[in-house]
Amino acid sequence: MDIREKIQKVGVVGCGTMGSGITQVCAQSGYETIVSEANEELLKKGIGSIESFLNKGIERGKITQQEKESTLAHIKGVTDLGYFSECDLVIEAASEDLNLKKRILADLDRICPEHAILGTNTSNLCIMELAATTKRPEKVLGIHFMNPVPLMRLVELVRSIATRGDILAMVKEFTKSLGKDYIIASDTPGFIVNRLNSPFMLNAIRMFEAGIGSIEDIDKAATLALNHPMGPFTLMDFSGLDMMYSSVKQRYEELPIPEFMPPPLLKRMVHADRFGRKTGKGWYEYNEKGEKIGSLKLGDLG
């Protein structure tokens, strides 16, 4: 199968952390890529983050100036979903809000051509429930990229009970054309990756609450003893505690097992607007350059 004959133009809904990364890897792989945002300010910020990432790649000798220019030339930023009417594949990368994703997929179903595949980058939500908002549930599946998208090789493909086999096969080939590898997960809470990772991170919070170790030492144990690229607290700050809390709550509602129960401290961190790097405070505190300058201590909890 020559996937580039089947999929020529890709759409991405959302140009935040995940959406901008998905847009970048699609454009870098030579796909004409349309990315949408709610307004021009968010769109400019998202495309700016892509350019910044590419500039760092040039500094590190990973890409050339010509490759950067080619990537940006393959990207078209819009604020109107109507531009997706020519896309063969659209991936929504909005925040983990079930009703928001349902509205987006319903709009895409109305706008996109009949043959178009609709993907959702959800890390947690029920694919079948999302697909049911469209008239093409057989062409809807989960296409869950890992964060940061340009650096992480894995894509988790999630097939609902309605997804056709040939659609899954096409998306497998598309994934490989991006230089990524894939796994196939069933449509269950957390799929594979977060079914493994969420209990690990939630247990790290419980260990900190119990005074077993400091945030820094728990992170150091994960990186130096378990060989993880970053510790659980650093990862939570990077991904956003607000997003994590929302996902964990939804997962626990559908599958109420103890390891998915969000610790009380996570809820309080979110209500204190300690979302992580994006707010300058999470488990760690950050300066304007995004460098760690301190961390939460047990004595700070009151």
**CB 40: neighbour CB atoms within 10 A?**
11
- Single out the catalytic residue among 123, 124, 160, 239: 123
Give residue 18's identity as a one-letter amino acid code: M
- Single out the catalytic residue among 36, 92, 121, 144: 144
Give the whole-angstrom CA distance, residue 111 versus residue 109: 6
Element (H, E) at 260: none
Is 144 labeled as catalytic in the residue annotation? yes
Is 228 labeled as catalytic in the residue annotation? no
DSSP 263: P
Parallel/antiparallel/unpaired status of strands 292-295 and 89-92: unpaired
- Single out the catalytic residue among 194, 198, 239, 247: 194
Cα dihedral 267, 272, 278, 280, rounded to 10, equals -130
Q: Is the peptide bond before 232 cis (omega within 30 degrees of 0)?
A: no
Is 115 labeled as catalytic in the residue annotation? no
Tokens of 272: 């204190």
Give residue 204's identity as a one-letter amino acid code: A
- Single out the catalytic residue among 124, 156, 246, 247: 156
Is 271 labeled as catalytic in the residue annotation? no
Active site residues: 123, 144, 156, 194
